[in-house]
C-alpha cells in the first residue's frame, strides 16, 4: 500500500474520529435493516426479522472493534489511552510525580540556563567576519621580570618596527584609549575614545554604518582631525542625524570632521574584553586617527594591537613569523634584548579572558546538578516500579503484550520528562532573565544572552533518555517474570536483575558523593567571598564621592597650567559645605589598575634588566590619603609646604617597604623613576596597601609622588576623591558648579561613590558565589530526596520483617537503629568517595580561592556535617514509620 493512502486513512481516522464512528454505525444499521426487510418479505414480523438479522450478523460490537482496527487508528488511540492511564497513575501518586517532575525540572532548568550563558559568552563566534583570523599580538615580559602582569603594552617605536618588518598579518591596527571633551553641543561632554591606526577597522573587518573609515593619509601627524562616532553617541548627541557626516565637532578644543558612524553592535574594545593591564574605558564612543609618526620618538605610550592573519596562516605560523620580527628587532637595537618577545593570542580567547574560568566552574557545577537529578529520577523510577511489580504481572496475565506494557511504562516516563521539560524551560527563562538583570555588568556579551533552544533540546533529551532507560527496566523484568511466582509471593521480595537494590544503592552513593563535592566547592567559594569582604582594601569607602577630571589638552599644554588648575580646584572643592577633605590622584581605589614602571633605588643598584625593581607610580595631591581614608602608617603625609622648589618627596606603600627594605624602615630612603635623568625622591611616609581593582588582589609595590613636584602628561586625566560629612551624592551639584566656575569646558565624568565602586568590584565574585551556593543547596536537597526514597522504600519492603522482629522482642529503638544504620552505611560510603573527590576538585579550584586553603578543614567539616544531618533527617522520616509498625497488622498482611 502506498504511503499517502495509508497516511490519508490514518489522518482521516484521527481527525474525524467521531464522524467515522457515526458512519460506521449507520452503515451497519443499514445492513441490518436491509436484511430484515428481505426477511420480512418472506413473511416474518418486523421485530422478529430484526432479531434474526442481528443474530445472523454475529457480534455487533466485535465487528465494530475489528473495523476500527482495520481502519488503522490503533496507534493514536493506544497512545491516548496510555497517556490517560499514565496521567491517572501519576495523579494517584502525587508525591512521586511531583518529586520526579520537580527534580528533573530543576536539573533541566539550571543546565539550560547555564549552558545558554556559556554558549553566548564562550562559544558563539565574535561578531566580526572570519573571527578566527583576528588576533592580538602581545608583548611578553622577559623571563624573571615581574611587571605585575604577564604582558606589557606596545610602544610606538615597537609598533613601527613591526609594521616595517614582514609580518604575518593582512592588516594590523594599533589603538590606545584617550579621553575627549566634546564642546559646542550643550554641556561639555566627557567621551571615552580611542586613537586608532588606519588598519584598525580593516583588521576587525568592520565597516561603518554611515560614511567611511580613516585613510592612510589621515593617519599621519597633522592630518588626524577626523572622527568616527559610536552609534550611541550619534543618537545621544546628534539626534541620529545622517547629515552629521562632514560636520565639524570640537574635541579637546580642536576641530574634527565627522567621517563615519559605526553600527550599534560595534564597541571595540570594551574594557572587560581587554587584558587587565590596560586601563581601558568601559565602552568607546569615538575613534580618531592615531597618527603615529614614521619615526616615533621614545616616551610613554601604551598601545594595544589587533591584527588579522593573512588568509591560510595558522596561529603557529603567525607566532614563528613574529619570533622572526623579534630577532630582527633585537639585531637592530640591543636594548630590545628580552623586551620584544611576543605572543599571538586569538581575539576570541582574549575577549572571554578571565570570564572563561568562572563559567567553566559553573558548567562543572551544573553538570553535577544534572547528573544528580537524573540519577535521582532513575532511582525514583526504579523504586516505584518495584512497588508496581504485581500490577504489571497481573496485566501481563490478563493478556497485555510485552510491547504494550513497555509502551505504557515509556509513556509514563515520557510524561514525566515532558512535564519536567515544560517546567524547566520556564525556570530557565526566569533564570536567564535574572542573570541578565542581576549579573555582573562587566561580563562580556551578557546582553546577548538568550535562552538557547538547541541547548534546551539537548538537556531535555538527556532527561528523556534517563526516564526511558530506567522506566524501561521494570517492564523488561515484568515481561520475563514468572507470572505465577510473582503473584504468589505477592510482591518484590525475591528477585535480582533490575530489582537488585545494588543498582539503586550505587546510584544513591554517587548522588551523595557528587552533592558533597558540589557543596564543598560552594562552601569554599562562600568562605572566599566573606574573606574578601573582610579583607583590608587600605581605604574607607563610606561617604566618599569620586569623579574624573579630564583637561582639554589644547588649553593645558603647559604643566604649570595643570598645577595651577589642580590647586584652584582643590581650594574650591574644599570650600564646598559638607566636604571634609579633597584629593586628586591618578587612580582611586577600585577605580582601575595602577601603572607599573621600572624604578631606581639608590641602595639597590641593579646589574641586569632581570633585577630591575619596579613599582606602581602614582601621582597624587596632598589630601588624597585622608580623602580615601588611608591612614598613614609611619612618617608624614604630603603637605602644602611640599612644592616644586622644596625637597622632592615620595610616599610608599607597605608592600614596597617590605619588598625592597625587608625588616627596615623605608623612611629616608631614596627612590626614583627608572633612568638616571630623573631625580631621586626621598621617602617621607608609608601608607597601607591600597587595592586597585579587587579586594582579593595581591598588592604590588606602589610609590606616590606629588603632582606639583613632577608634572606629567598623564595628569590630563585624574580622579578626584571627596570625603563628605553626610551623603556624598548630595554635593554633586556643588561640585559641578565649582568646576564650571573654574573652567566652563571641564566635564564632570564618571561620578561614583567609593561604595559603588567597591560594590561593582564585588559583583562578579558575589554572583559566582551565589550561583554556586544555589547549586550546592540544590545538590544537598536532591541527595536528601534520593536518600529518603531509598530508605523509605526499603522500610516498606521490610514491613513484615520488622513486624516479626518486634513480635519476638525487638524494641522501637532497635528498629530505628536498623533503618538508620542502613542509611548511615550508604551515606558513609558516599561521604568517603565525595571527600576524596572534593580534595581533588578543590585543588583545581585554587585560583578561585582567596584567604582559604583548598583543604580548609572548617569548610570540609562543616559541609560534610551539614550533609550528614540532612541525610539523617531524610532517614528519620522512614525510620519513624518503621517504629510505628504494628506487629499484628504487619504479620496479618501475609
Partner 1 sequence: MDKQLDLLQGTLDMLILKAVSLGPLHGYGVLLRIQQISRDCLEIQQGSLYPALYRLEHHGWIASEWGESENKRKAKYYRLTAAGKRKLLSEAEKWNRMTEVISGILGTTPEEV
Residue 164 half-sphere exposure, CB side, CA atoms within 13 Å?
Answer: 15
Q: Which of 7, 11, 15, 70 binds partner 1 (CB under 8 A)?
A: 70
Helices and strands in the chain: count of H runs, count of E runs: 26, 22
The reply to whether 406 sits near partner 1 by the rule CB under 8 A is: no
Q: Which is nearer to partner 1, 58 or 143 (CB)?
A: 58
C-beta of 62: minimal distance to partner 1 in Å? 7
How far apart are CB 73 and partner 1 at their closest, in Å?
A: 10
Q: Is the peptide bond before 269 cis (omega within 30 degrees of 0)?
A: yes
CB of 399 to partner 1, least distance (A): 15
**Window contacting partner 1 (CB under 8 A); options: 51-59, 452-460, 625-633, 813-821:** 51-59
User: Judged by CB, which is closer to partner 1: 41, or 88?
Assistant: 41
- The backbone torsions φ and ψ at residue 361, rounded to the nearest 5 degrees and listed phi first, read -60, -45
Stretch that binds partner 1, among 66-74, 125-133, 290-298, 845-853 (CB under 8 A): 66-74
**Which regions of 558-656 does DSSP assign to beta strands (E)?**
579-585, 596-601, 614-620, 634-635, 649-653
Q: Does 2 bind partner 1 (CB under 8 A)?
A: yes
Looking at beta carbons only, is 66 or 536 nearer to partner 1?
Answer: 66
Query: 138 by DSSP, 3-state: which?
Result: strand
| The C-alpha cell that represents 2 in the structure block | 502506498
Task: Pick between residue 31 and residue 282 the one whose CB is nearest to partner 1.
Answer: 31
Q: Report the residue from 14, 28, 145, 245 that binds partner 1 according to the rule CB under 8 A.
A: 28
**From the list 69, 150, 727, 737, which residue makes contact with partner 1 (rule: CB under 8 A)?**
69
Among 41, 43, 59, 534, binds partner 1 (CB under 8 A): 59
- How many residues bind partner 1 (CB under 8 A)? The answer is 29
Query: Of the two residues 25 and 187, which places its CB atom closer to partner 1 in the complex?
Result: 25
Instruction: Report the alpha-carbon distance of residue 613 to residue 690 in Å, rounded.
Output: 20
Q: Of 789, 50, 809, 712, nearest to 372 (Cα)? A: 789
Q: Helical H runs in 398-500?
A: 402-438, 453-480, 483-489
Stretches 57-65, 86-94, 280-288, 628-636: which one binds partner 1 (CB under 8 A)?
57-65
The cell numbers describing 784, all together, are 536528601
Contact between 75 and partner 1 by CB under 8 A: the answer reads no
Q: Classify each residue of 598-633 as buried b or exposed e, where b means 16 or more C-beta atoms within 10 Å of its C-beta.
A: bbbbeeeeeeeeeebbbbbbbbbbbbbbbbbbbeee
CB 58 → partner 1: shortest distance, Å?
A: 3
Residue 23 or 611: the one with the smaller Cβ distance to partner 1 is 23
* Binding status of residue 9 toward partner 1 by CB under 8 A: yes
Least distance (Å) between residue 50 CB and partner 1: 14
- Selected binder of partner 1 within 14, 35, 315, 740 (CB under 8 A): 35
Question: Under DSSP, is residue 191 helix (H, G, I), strand (E, B) or coil?
Answer: strand
Smallest distance from partner 1 to CB 66, Å: 4
**Minimum distance from CB of 74 to partner 1 (Å)?**
12
Q: Does 78 bind partner 1 (CB under 8 A)?
A: no
| Shortest distance (Å) from residue 5 CB to partner 1 | 4
Give the binding range for partner 1 (CB under 8 A) out of 34-42, 270-278, 731-739, 758-766.
Answer: 34-42
Which range in 3-11, 141-149, 349-357, 664-672 contacts partner 1 by CB under 8 A? 3-11
Out of 71, 328, 574, 659, point to the residue binding partner 1 (CB under 8 A): 71
Q: How far is the CB of 439 from partner 1 (least distance, A)?
A: 58
Instruction: Map grid coordinates 572563561 to a residue.
Output: 356
Per CB under 8 A, 60 contacts partner 1: yes
Contacts of 475 (CB under 8 A, 6+ apart): 385, 392, 402, 405, 406, 408, 409, 410
Applying CB under 8 A, which of residues 17, 33, 406, 635 lies at the interface with partner 1?
A: 33
* Interface residue with partner 1, options 7, 15, 31, 865 (CB under 8 A): 31
CB contact set of 818 (below 8 Å; sequence gap of 6+): 802, 805, 882
Select the residue interacting with partner 1 from 41, 43, 47, 62 (CB under 8 A).
62
Cell of 526: 562562600
What's the grid cell of residue 391? 500490577
Rounded CA separation 85/106 (Å): 26
189's enclosing H/E stretch is strand 189-196
46 binds partner 1 (CB under 8 A): no
Min separation Cβ 1 and partner 1, Å = 5
For residue 30, state whether it binds partner 1 (rule: CB under 8 A): yes
Using CA atoms, how far apart are residues 622 and 640, in angstroms rounded to an integer?
7
Contact map string, positions 662 to 701, toward partner 1, x by CB under 8 A: ----------------------------------------
User: Which one of residues 14, 40, 44, 72 is an interface residue with partner 1 (CB under 8 A)?
Assistant: 72
**Which residue from 21, 25, 27, 571 is in contact with partner 1, where contact means CB under 8 A?**
27
Q: Burial code of 471-509, b = ≥16 C-beta within 10 A, e = fewer? A: bbbbbebbbebeeeebeeeebbeebeebbebebbbebbb
Nearest to 255 by CA among 264, 247, 266: 247
Q: Which of 644, 652, 699 is nearest to 672 (CA)?
A: 652
26 binds partner 1 (CB under 8 A): yes
Give the one residue of 42, 43, 47, 58 binding partner 1; rule: CB under 8 A: 58
Three cell numbers written together for 51: 432479531
> What is the residue-wise DSSP string for 550-568?
E--TTT--SHHHHHHHHHH
Looking at beta carbons only, is 72 or 851 nearer to partner 1?
72
Q: Which member of 21, 25, 48, 66 binds partner 1 (CB under 8 A)?
A: 66
Give Cα separations from 236 to 46, 248, 249, 287 (angstroms): 93, 17, 14, 16
Among 21, 48, 56, 132, binds partner 1 (CB under 8 A): 56
- Span from 56-64, 502-510, 817-825, 864-872 in contact with partner 1 (CB under 8 A): 56-64
Task: Indicate whether 25 belongs to the interface with partner 1 (CB under 8 A).
Answer: no
Nearer to partner 1, 1 or 239 (CB): 1
Stretch that binds partner 1, among 60-68, 123-131, 647-655, 708-716 (CB under 8 A): 60-68
The grid cell for 115 is 549552558
All cell numbers assigned to 719: 580622579
Q: Please, which residue, 22 or 247, has the CB nearer to partner 1?
A: 22
The CA–CA distances, whole Å, from 274 to 262, 278, 347, 443 equal 20, 7, 9, 12
315 CB-near residues (< 8 Å, 6+ apart): 135, 309, 344, 346
Q: Measured from the CB of residue 408, what is the shortest distance to partner 1 in angstroms?
A: 24
Chain positions 765 to 804 lying near partner 1, rule: CB under 8 A, are: none
E strands, 602-754, in order: 614-620, 634-635, 649-653, 670-673, 681-687, 702-706, 717-724, 748-753
Does residue 57 touch partner 1 according to CB under 8 A? yes
Nearer to partner 1, 27 or 448 (CB): 27
Smaller CB separation from partner 1, 20 or 503: 20
- Identity of the residue, 29 or 337, whose beta carbon is nearer to partner 1 in the bound complex: 29
C-alpha to C-alpha distance for 639 and 623, rounded to whole angstroms = 8
Q: Which is closer to partner 1, CB of 37 or CB of 448?
A: 37
The length of the chain is 894
Binding site for partner 1 (CB under 8 A): 1-2, 5-6, 9, 23-24, 26-28, 30-31, 33-35, 37, 56-60, 62-63, 66-67, 69-72
Amino acid at each position: 500500500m502506498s504511503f499517502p493512502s495509508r497516511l490519508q486513512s490514518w489522518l482521516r481516522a484521527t481527525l474525524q474520529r467521531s464522524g467515522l464512528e457515526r458512519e460506521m454505525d449507520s452503515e451497519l444499521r443499514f445492513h441490518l435493516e436491509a436484511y430484515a426487510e428481505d426477511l420480512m418479505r418472506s413473511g416474518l414480523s418486523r421485530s422478529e426479522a430484526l432479531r434474526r438479522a442481528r443474530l445472523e450478523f454475529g457480534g455487533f460490537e466485535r465487528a465494530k472493534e475489528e473495523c476500527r482496527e482495520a481502519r488503522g487508528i490503533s496507534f493514536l488511540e493506544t497512545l491516548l489511552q496510555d497517556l490517560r492511564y499514565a496521567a491517572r497513575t501519576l495523579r494517584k501518586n502525587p508525591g512521586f510525580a511531583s518529586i520526579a517532575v520537580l527534580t528533573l525540572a530543576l536539573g533541566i532548568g539550571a543546565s539550560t540556563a547555564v549552558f545558554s550563558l556559556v554558549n553566548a559568552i564562550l562559544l558563539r563566534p565574535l561578531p566580526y567576519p572570519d573571527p578566527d583570523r583576528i588576533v592580538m599580538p602581545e608583548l611578553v615580559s622577559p623571563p624573571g621580570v615581574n611587571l605585575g602582569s604577564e604582558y606589557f603594552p606596545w610602544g610606538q617605536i615597537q609598533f613601527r618596527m613591526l609594521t616595517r618588518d614582514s609580518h604575518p598579518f593582512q592588516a594590523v591596527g594599533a589603538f590606545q584609549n584617550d579621553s575627549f571633551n566634546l564642546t559646542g553641543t550643550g554641556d561639555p561632554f566627557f567621551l571615552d575614545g580611542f586613537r586608532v591606526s588606519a588598519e584598525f577597522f580593516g583588521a576587525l573587518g568592520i565597516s561603518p554604518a554611515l560614511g567611511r573609515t580613516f585613510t592612510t593619509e589621515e593617519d599621519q601627524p597633522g592630518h588626524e582631525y577626523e572622527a568616527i562616532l559610536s552609534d550611541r553617541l550619534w543618537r545621544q548627541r546628534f539626534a541620529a542625524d545622517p547629515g552629521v557626516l562632514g560636520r565639524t565637532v570640537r574635541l579637546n578644543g580642536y576641530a574634527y570632521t565627522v567621517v563615519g558612524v559605526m553600527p550599534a553592535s560595534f564597541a571595540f574594545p570594551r574594557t572587560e574584553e581587554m587584558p587587565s593591564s590596560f586601563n581601558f574605558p568601559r565602552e568607546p564612543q569615538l575613534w580618531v586617527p592615531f597618527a603615529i609618526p614614521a619615526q616615533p620618538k621614545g616616551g610613554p605610550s601604551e598601545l594595544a594591537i589587533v591584527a588579522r592573519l593573512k588568509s591560510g596562516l595558522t596561529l603557529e605560523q603567525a607566532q614563528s613569523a613574529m619570533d622572526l620580527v623579534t630577532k630582527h628587532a633585537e639585531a637592530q637595537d640591543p636594548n630590545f634584548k628580552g623586551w620584544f618577545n611576543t605572543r599571538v593570542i586569538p581575539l576570541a580567547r582574549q575577549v572571554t579572558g578571565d570570564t572563561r574560568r568562572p563559567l567553566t566552574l559553573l558548567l562543572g557545577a551544573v553538570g553535577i546538578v544534572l547528573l544528580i537529578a537524573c540519577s535521582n529520577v532513575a532511582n525514583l523510577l526504579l523504586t516505584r516500579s518495584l512497588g508496581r511489580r504485581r500490577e504489571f504481572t497481573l496485566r501481563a496475565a490478563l493478556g497485555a503484550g510485552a510491547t504494550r506494557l513497555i509502551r505504557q511504562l515509556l509513556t509514563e516516563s515520557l510524561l514525566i520528562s515532558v512535564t519536567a521539560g515544560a517546567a524547566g524551560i520556564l525556570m530557565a527563562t526566569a533564570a536567564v532573565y535574572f542573570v541578565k538583570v542581576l549579573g555582573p555588568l562587566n561580563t562580556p556579551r551578557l546582553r546577548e544572552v538568550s535562552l538557547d533552544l538547541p541547548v534546551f533540546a539537548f538537556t531535555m533529551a538527556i532527561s528523556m533518555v534517563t526516564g526511558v532507560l530506567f522506566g524501561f527496566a521494570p517492564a523488561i523484568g515484568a515481561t520475563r517474570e514468572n507470572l505465577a511466582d510473582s503473584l504468589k509471593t505477592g510482591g518484590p521480595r525475591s528477585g535480582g536483575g533490575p530489582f537488585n537494590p545494588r543498582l539503586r544503592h550505587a546510584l544513591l552513593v554517587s548522588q551523595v558523593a557528587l552533592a558533597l563535592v558540589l557543596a564543598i566547592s560552594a562552601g569554599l567559594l562562600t568562605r572566599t567571598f566573606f574573606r574578601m569582604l573582610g579583607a583590608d582594601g587600605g581605604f574607607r569607602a563610606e561617604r566618599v564621592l569620586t569623579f574624573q577630571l579630564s583637561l582639554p589638552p589644547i588649553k593645558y599644554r603647559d604643566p604649570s597650567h595643570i598645577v595651577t588648575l589642580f590647586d584652584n580646584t582643590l581650594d574650591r572643592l574644599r570650600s564646598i559645605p559638607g566636604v571634609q577633605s579633597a584629593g586628586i590622584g591618578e587612580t582611586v581605589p577600585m577605580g582601575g589598575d595602577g601603572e607599573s614602571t621600572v624604578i631606581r633605588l639608590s641602595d639597590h643598584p641593579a646589574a641586569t634588566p632581570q633585577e630591575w625593581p619596579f613599582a606602581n607610580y602614582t601621582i597624587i595631591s596632598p589630601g588624597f590619603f585622608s580623602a580615601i581614608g588611608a591612614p598613614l602608617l609611619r612618617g608624614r603625609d604630603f603637605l602644602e609646604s611640599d612644592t616644586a622648589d622644596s625637597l622632592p618627596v615620595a610616599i610608599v606603600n607597605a608592600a614596597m617597604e617590605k619588598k625592597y627594605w625587608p625588616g627596615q624602615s623605608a623612611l629616608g630612603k631614596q627612590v626614583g623613576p627608572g633612568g638616571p635623568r630623573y631625580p631621586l625622591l626621598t621617602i617621607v611616609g608609608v601608607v597601607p596597601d591600597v587595592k586597585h581593582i579587587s579586594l582579593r588582589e595581591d598588592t604590588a609595590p606602589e610609590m606616590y609622588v606629588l603632582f606639583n613636584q613632577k608634572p606629567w602628561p598623564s595628569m590630563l586625566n585624574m580622579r578626584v576623591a571627596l570625603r563628605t560629612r553626610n551623603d556624598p551624592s548630595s554635593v554633586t551639584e556643588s561640585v559641578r558648579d565649582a568646576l564650571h566656575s573654574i573652567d566652563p569646558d571641564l566635564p564632570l565624568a564618571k561620578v561614583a561613590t567609593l561604595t559603588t565602586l567597591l560594590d561593582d568590584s564585588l559583583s562578579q565574585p558575589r554572583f559566582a558565589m551565589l550561583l554556586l551556593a544555589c547549586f550546592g543547596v540544590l545538590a544537598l536537597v536532591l541527595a536528601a530526596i534520593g536518600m529518603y526514597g531509598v530508605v523509605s522504600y526499603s522500610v516498606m519492603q521490610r514491613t513484615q520483617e520488622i513486624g516479626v522482629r518486634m513480635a519476638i522482642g525487638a524494641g522501637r529503638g532497635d528498629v530505628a537503629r536498623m533503618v538508620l544504620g542502613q542509611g548511615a552505611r550508604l551515606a558513609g560510603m558516599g561521604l568517603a568517595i565525595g571527600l576524596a573527590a572534593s580534595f581533588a576538585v578543590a585543588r583545581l579550584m585554587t585560583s578561585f580561592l582567596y584567604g582559604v586553603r583548598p583543604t580548609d578543614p572548617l569548610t570540609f567539616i562543616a559541609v560534610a556535617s551539614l550533609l550528614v544531618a540532612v541525610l539523617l533527617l531524610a532517614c528519620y522520616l522512614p525510620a519513624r514509620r518503621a517504629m510505628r509498625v504494628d506487629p499484628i497488622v504487619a504479620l496479618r498482611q501475609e
